[in-house]
Amino acid sequence: MTSTINMNPLLEIASLRKSFNGGKDFVVDVERLSLNKGKILALVGESGSGKTTLVRLIAGLETSDSGSISIGGQTVTSKDIFVPPEQRKIGMVFQDYALFPHLTVYENITYGCKHIKKEQLTELLQLVGLVGYEKRYPHQLSGGQQQRVALARALAPRPQLLILDEPFSNLDIALKLQLRNEIFDIIQQLGITAIFVTHDTQDAIMIADDIAVLRKGAIIQQGNASTLYRSPNRLYVAALFGPVVPLTIEELSFFGYPYKKGENCAIRMEQFQVNKNSPYSVRVHVERSLFFGQQYLNTCKLPNGKLVSFTSVQGLHDEIELGFGQGSVLTFPDNIT
């Protein structure tokens, strides 16, 4: 696992375990996780991997079976300590906004923070672009506006850590992209430390300084976007960050690629080269070449009959030389799945 050097950790987790239903399976089993002050961590993983449970443990909305969590140098969860959620100085934004329907924008934002100064509230409303909307009720707002109210409410008490749990899941794609950029700008402007839960690795790549991949409750790799995209430590992580084509020993030999014992190999779909005198290549027939917007999705048959899909800028047909360069090969130890 790639480790992050922690100069100034705001959040530190050690040996944190949580199980449900009598402890048969650990839903969360995190050996170590830390997040530096002012940084954004994305927690990615498929549905059921334990993302929400992990952030609920951090927020104090769940108790752990064992392990410790410290925030801002203070232990908030350990064998003997449990600091209640309201004392952890964590702001949370959820997928479903969780606004009070009978309260106005103003009342929602100030609900847990009655003594907020007028200037601070105005600043906050400006920040989230909701000046003039103070008297509206949630049902009079769009989804994106409701999520901005939720963000303002989470930021009002000036939390030391902001947790966003799938904040864009209920929004259509155009709004999601717009809001993602806006929220990212706000977080950066405030220099706030944030954890951003998502199953969308594109979101993680765009927003986060650091990404932790959760699988069955454990962090299987942590690093920046470039590390996870270029040097995933297993096929599972590689495939989370974009389509890959695993190649067997026999298939690698078709390309003339020297197989190393103990290694599994894969190529990203977009890394294949066509008719380019690539160091490793094979002559194949193009079965299909479908235009899908910016690129073509091509399918070719390898000599053993396996169909390989890859993308190209130009449409392809007939016989081609399909290849790849040394730097395009992702390799993983064959004993890690």
Residues that bind ligand ATP (CB under 6 A): 20-21, 27, 45, 47-53, 199
Quick one: 62 or 251, whose CB is closer to ligand ATP? 62
Quick one: 9 or 45, whose CB is closer to ligand ATP? 45
Contact 124, 155 (CB under 8 A): yes
Task: Give the Cα separation of 176 and 168 in Å (integer).
Answer: 6
Quick one: 199 or 306, whose CB is closer to ligand ATP? 199
- Give the shortest CB-285-to-ligand ATP separation in angstroms: 41
- Give the shortest CB-203-to-ligand ATP separation in angstroms: 13
Contact 231, 1 (CB under 8 A): no
Quick one: 203 or 251, whose CB is closer to ligand ATP? 203
Alpha-carbon separation of residue 315 from 288, 290, 296, 299, 308 (angstroms): 9, 7, 6, 11, 16
Quick one: 44 or 284, whose CB is closer to ligand ATP? 44
Contact 27, 217 (CB under 8 A): yes
- Give the shortest CB-97-to-ligand ATP separation in angstroms: 16
Contact 58, 10 (CB under 8 A): no
How would you list the strands of the sheet with 296-301, edge to edge?
Answer: 273-274, 319-324, 280-291, 296-301, 307-312
Quick one: 19 or 75, whose CB is closer to ligand ATP? 19
Let me know how long the chain is.
337
Contact 71, 107 (CB under 8 A): no
- Give the shortest CB-39-to-ligand ATP separation in angstroms: 21
Q: What is the DSSP string of 148-160?
A: HHHHHHHHTT--S
- Give the shortest CB-292-to-ligand ATP separation in angstroms: 27
Quick one: 204 or 308, whose CB is closer to ligand ATP? 204
Beta-carbon contacts of 203 under 8 Å, excluding residues fewer than 6 positions away, are 42, 168, 180, 196
- Give the shortest CB-131-to-ligand ATP separation in angstroms: 33
Q: What is the DSSP string of 210-235?
A: EEEEEETTEEEEEE-HHHHHHS-SSH
- Give the shortest CB-62-to-ligand ATP separation in angstroms: 8
